[in-house]
């Protein structure tokens, strides 16, 4: 990843007059029963959009909806819906997309937020590498592929995908130079990205992963996010003329379950920036960008 510039947008005042959306604007957020996903749903629903809160556990999902309605005061004002979605399970993705298509049929914003990491902050075990790759890379990829035909084609607003990734998945964390060169190539393909993650899993199974130059910190998680960043770039290039914008956002070290409550800021703070990115006015919305943190924020090419 080539760091290019500090982004004035990330330290500018919150959303204001540039409202392009309405209650007909439909946003899906994955993994939204808690943490940054929950706060993102809150921010988007409070802004007046129709928001689909998804979670893998039905009870946790409905509880989140109930909490949002209670916190809002007049919960009936919120255009909020819950659907079950386990992004690590292709059958669940299929069932969700099929139901969503019947109920809504069109989509404006997809925030791929759901993810897992099984490490304590200073640990680096790859014991759960397969589930990490399946959830954090294949999950968003399969969901995007299934939802692609439903993104609204509009001249006045741009459909958008915001993938919540991590600076741990920046290309400069990759120490294997051949792999780095492949990922940075202008002609990078989906097949090459899948080949990379499959090779990583193979290395893990053979017990050789430590000597192959993969990222050093939270290795399985970093590979999953690196792959998602790379896939986002492939998509951004492919759809640049079709009105679909694809960007990534690293929320920084945030106090959530994933970090066992440690971090420099709250999920609400992170979601405030995430929601502003998801709601950028069409004329300001780039594609193929990686927004990192926010104090100060950095934006680079993916
Ligand atoms: N916190 C940080 O410092 C930090 C830094 C950089 C990037 N991020 C990224 O920010 C995003 C949100 O993370 P967070 O910090 O808010 O973590 P979190 O509090 O652990 O929330 C993760 C969410 O993902 C859900 N999830 C996990 N596996 C799922 C699956 N298979 N299907 C559907 N949902 C699933 C969890 O549901 P359950 O409650 O059912 O487990 C939960 O709702 C992630 O993409 C993460 O990688 C976080």
DSSP string, 253-302: SEESGGGTT-SSEEHHHHHHHHHHHHT--GGG--SSEEEE-STT-EEEE-
The predicted-structure confidence for 257-279, as pLDDT tens digits, reads as follows 999 999 999 999 999 999 999 99
Distance in Å, CA 158 to ligand 1 centroid: 26
Distance in Å, CA 17 to ligand 1 centroid: 31
Give Cα separations from 97 to 55, 90, 132, 246 (angstroms): 14, 11, 22, 19
Q: Which residue of 28, 30, 35 sits with most ligand 1 atoms within 8 Å of its CB, as the best mutation to test the pocket?
A: 35
Percent of the chain with pLDDT over 70: 93
Identify any residues that bridge with 151 across adjacent strands, giving them in sequence order: 107
Nearest atom within ligand 1 for CA of residue 92 = 32
Q: Which residue of 40, 114, 116, 252 sits with most ligand 1 atoms within 8 Å of its CB, as the best mutation to test the pocket?
A: 114
Report the C-alpha gap between 231 and 141 in whole angstroms.
8
Whether 265 lines ligand 1, by a CB cut-off of 6 Å, is no
Mean pLDDT over 130-153 rounds to 97
Among the residue ranges 10-24, 39-53, 61-75, 127-141, the one predicted with the least confidence is: 10-24
pLDDT at residue 1 is higher than 50: no
List domains and CATH numbers for the chain: 3-14+23-167+225-301 (3.40.50.720)
Contact 3, 87 (CB under 8 A): no
The predicted-structure confidence for 97-119, as pLDDT tens digits, reads as follows 999 999 999 999 999 999 999 99
pLDDT at residue 148 is higher than 90: yes
Contact 65, 96 (CB under 8 A): no
Whether 65 lines ligand 1, by a CB cut-off of 6 Å, is no
- For 25-41, give one letter per residue: b (16+ CB within 10 A) or e: bbbbbbbbbbbbbbbbb
Q: And the tokens for 282?
A: 């069409």
Q: What pLDDT was estimated at residue 293?
A: 83
The predicted-structure confidence for 187-212, as pLDDT tens digits, reads as follows 999 999 999 999 999 999 999 999 99
Q: Which residue of 36, 42, 162, 290 sits with most ligand 1 atoms within 8 Å of its CB, as the best mutation to test the pocket?
A: 36
**Atom 21 (ligand 1): residue with closest C-alpha?**
35
Give Cα separations from 203 to 129, 209, 227 (angstroms): 11, 5, 16
Please, which residues have CB within 8 angstroms of residue 187's CB and are 6 or more apart in sequence?
Answer: none
Whether 31 lines ligand 1, by a CB cut-off of 6 Å, is yes
Give Cα separations from 20 to 24, 90, 114, 120, 226 (angstroms): 11, 33, 26, 41, 32
Q: Provide the pLDDT confidence category of residue 53 given band limits of 50, 70 and 90.
A: very high
Contact 64, 57 (CB under 8 A): no
Q: Which residues are catalytic?
A: 221
Whether 263 lines ligand 1, by a CB cut-off of 6 Å, is yes
The predicted-structure confidence for 138-147, as pLDDT tens digits, reads as follows 999 999 999 9
Helix (H, G, I), strand (E, B) or coil at 221: helix
């Amino acid at each position: 990843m080539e760091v290019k510039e500090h982004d004035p947008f990330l330290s500018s005042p919150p959303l204001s007059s540039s409202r392009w959306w309405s209650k007909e604007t439909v946003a899906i957020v994955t993994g939204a029963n808690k943490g940054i996903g929950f706060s993102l749903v809150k921010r988007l629903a409070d802004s007046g959009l129709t928001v689909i809160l998804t979670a893998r556990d039905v009870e946790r999902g409905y509880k989140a909806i109930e909490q949002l309605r209670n916190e809002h005061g007049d919960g009936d004002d919120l255009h909020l819906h819950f659907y079950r979605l386990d992004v690590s399970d292709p059958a669940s993705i299929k069932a969700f997309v099929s139901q969503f298509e019947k109920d809504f049929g069109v989509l404006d914003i997809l925030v791929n937020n759901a993810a897992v990491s099984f490490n304590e902050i200073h640990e680096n075990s790859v014991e759960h590498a397969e589930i990490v790759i399946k959830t954090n890379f294949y999950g968003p990829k399969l969901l995007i592929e299934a939802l692609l035909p439903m993104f609204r084609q509009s001249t006045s607003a741009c459909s958008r995908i915001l993938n919540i990734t991590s600076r741990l998945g920046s290309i400069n964390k990759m120490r294997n130079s051949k792999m780095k060169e492949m990922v940075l190539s202008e002609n990078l393909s989906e097949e090459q990205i899948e080949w990379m993650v499959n090779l990583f899993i193979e290395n893990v199974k053979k017990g050789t992963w430590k000597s192959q130059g993969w990222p050093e910190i939270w290795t399985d998680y970093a590979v999953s996010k690196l792959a998602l960043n790379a896939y986002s770039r492939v998509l951004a290039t492919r759809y640049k003329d079709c009105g679909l914008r694809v960007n990534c956002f690293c929320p920084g070290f945030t106090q959530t379950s994933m970090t066992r409550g440690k971090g420099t800021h709250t999920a609400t703070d992170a979601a405030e920036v995430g929601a502003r990115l998801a709601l950028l006015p069409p004329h300001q919305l780039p594609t193929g960008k990686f927004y990192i943190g926010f104090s100060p924020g950095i934006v680079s090419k993916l």
